Structure 1
C-alpha cells in the first residue's frame, strides 16, 4: 500500500470536507490527512488515496464517506475547557435569566465533555428546575461516545471535586479506569447529529449557545453562514459563547460583545430602536 498522497487526491479530499462540513483543511495538513486515513485504505482494500476517494465518492461508499468525515472533523475536547465560560454561565447568565425554563445549545459537542460540563453547572445552580441541553455534532461516531457518557478516568482532571463526587461514578470490573456521568444528568441532554451549514428544521429558541473552537476551522463565508443559522435560534437577549481564540471580526452579526468571546443578542425592543435609528 502506498501511504503517500498525491496532490490530486489531497485536493479532492480537502474539497469534499469543505463542501460538506465547511471545514478548511490547510494546504500543509497532508500529514494530518494521511495519519487519520491510511488505515481506512488498508481496511477497505485500496492501495492509493486516489482509489480510496473514488470509492468514497461512489454509491457503494456512502457509509465510508461518513467514516472519512468523522475522522477528519473530530477535534479533541475535555471537561471544563476554558473554565471562565462556565463561571460566567453560573455567576452571570443563570442569575440574570431568572426562574424560567432554560435551554442551551452545545453546537459542536464532539464526544460530549462540553455538554456534560454545562449540565453539571445547570444541575448545580438550577437543580430540578426546568432546563435542558441540545448537543449536536456532524459526526455520528463521536455522538455515540457522548450518549454513553463513559470516559477514561485521566480525562477528569478539570472537573471540580464536588462535581466529580456528585455527577460521576468510577467504573469497576471491565470498566476499571473509566468514568461514567450519572444517568440523571445524561437524561437532560439530547445528543443529535446536525451539520451547522444547515438550518435547524424546527423553530426552537435557545437562551445560550456554546459555539466554541469551531469557527477557527471555517473560512469567512462559511463562518457567516454558520452564524446566520445559529443566531436564528438564539432568542432575543440570549448569549453566544465562542472559544477564547475566536472573534466575530469582519462578520455581519447582530450581537453585542459583552467581553472577549462572549456576545449577547439584543432584546426585541433594543433591536427595534436600533433599526428605527438607522
Structure 2
C-alpha cells in the first residue's frame, strides 16, 4: 500500500524526479554546455523544468526525456539549455575590475583600436557596463565589444537593452545619468541603454564548449562567473580556446571566486582574477 501511494503521488507530481532522471539531465547539460551539475541541484532542475512538463501535458520527467531525445525536438533541447544556464546578473558587478580597466588598462589604448569580448554575457548588463566605461575613458573612438552566450533567449534581452531599474543598483550615478534613459509612464521603473552604446556592441550565440567561430583577436576578454560551472578538463578546454583569441599582452578577467590554478600556462596572473597573455604563447 505504501509503495502504491508513492507511485500515485509521483504520477501526479511532475516535480518528483528520480535519481536516474536527475543523472540524465546532468549528462545532458554537461554534453551540451560543459556544465558540471552537482547531484544536490535537483531542486534547481525541477524548479526550472517543471513548467515544460506542464506545457507538454506530461506526467513524469522520463516522458519529458523521451520527448527531448526525439530528433525533431532541437528547439526543446535549446530551451533546456536556456533554463539550466541562465543566471542573474546586474550592472557594475565586481566594481574593482572596472576600476582596474579605468586606471591601468584602457589609458594605454587612447588613440588605438580596442576590441573586447564578454564571453558569457547573459542578458547583457556586463557588456553595457563595459561600454559605459570604454566611452568614459576612450570616448566614442575606435572600440567595439562582442557579447556572447549559449542562450538565444538571454541574447534577445541583451539586444533590446531594456532593464528593470533595480539591475542598476550598483551603477555609479554619473554613468546612469550619462548612458541610460529612464522610463516614464508605462515604462517607469525601467531603463533603456543609450542608442549610442547599443550601436557599438553586437551579440552572438557561442557555446564555449565547442570550437569557436572566427572572432578575430581581442585586447580584453571577460570570462566571469562561468568557469565555476565547469569541471577541470572543461575549464582547460575553454580557457585554451579563449586565450587563443587574445592578442599577446591582452587581458583575461575571471570572477574573484574563480581560479586558473592548474588550468593554463599561457597566462600570467597580475593579481587574483586578472591575467595577461604571455608574449609568444601558443
Task: State the TM-score, normalizing by the size of structure 1.
Answer: 0.94
> 2:169 aligns to what?
157
Mapped to 2, the partners of 1:91 and 1:227 lie a distance apart of 26
Check conservation: 2:53, 2:60, Cα contact below 8 A.
yes
> 2:196 aligns to what?
184
Single out whichever of 63-72 and 96-105 deviates more from structure 2. Answer: 96-105
Backbone CA RMSD of aligned residues: 1.2
Give the one of 12, 25, 31 matched to 1:19.
Answer: 31
> 1:123 aligns to what?
135
Shift of 1:75: 1.0
Q: Please list, as runs of the form range in 1=range in 2, the aligned pairs for 1:7-86 lying within 5 A after superposition.
A: 7-86=19-98
> 2:3 aligns to what?
none
Query: Is 1:243 aligned to residue 255 of structure 2?
Result: yes
Mapped to 2, the partners of 1:44 and 1:62 lie a distance apart of 15
Task: For residue 29 of structure 1, give the secondary structure of its aligned residue in structure 2.
Answer: helix
> 2:99 aligns to what?
87
> 2:151 aligns to what?
139
Shift of 1:125: 0.6
Runs of 4+ in 1 over 6 A off after TM superposition: none
Shift of 1:174: 2.6
Check conservation: 1:227, 1:253, Cα contact below 8 A.
no
Check conservation: 1:36, 1:71, Cα contact below 8 A.
yes
Query: Is 1:97 aligned to residue 106 of structure 2?
Result: no
Alpha-carbon displacement from aligned partner over 1:41-68 (angstroms, at most 9, x marks no partner): 1011211011111111112321111111
Alpha-carbon displacement from aligned partner over 1:216-270 (angstroms, at most 9, x marks no partner): 00000000010111011011010000000111111133110000100001224xx
Task: For residue 39 of structure 2, give the secondary structure of its aligned residue in structure 1.
Answer: coil
Query: Is 1:175 aligned to residue 187 of structure 2?
Result: yes
> 2:274 aligns to what?
262
Mapped to 2, the partners of 1:103 and 1:44 lie a distance apart of 44
Shift of 1:175: 1.5
Q: 1:75 to 1:19 in 2, by over 3 A?
A: same
Check conservation: 2:110, 2:138, Cα contact below 8 A.
no
Check conservation: 1:198, 1:229, Cα contact below 8 A.
no
Task: State the TM-score, normalizing by the size of structure 2.
Answer: 0.93
Mapped to 2, the partners of 1:60 and 1:15 lie a distance apart of 20
Shift of 1:177: 1.4
Shift of 1:203: 5.4
Task: For residue 234 of structure 2, give the secondary structure of its aligned residue in structure 1.
Answer: helix
Mapped to 2, the partners of 1:253 and 1:223 lie a distance apart of 13
> 1:275 aligns to what?
none
Mapped to 2, the partners of 1:215 and 1:201 lie a distance apart of 20
> 2:6 aligns to what?
none
> 1:276 aligns to what?
none
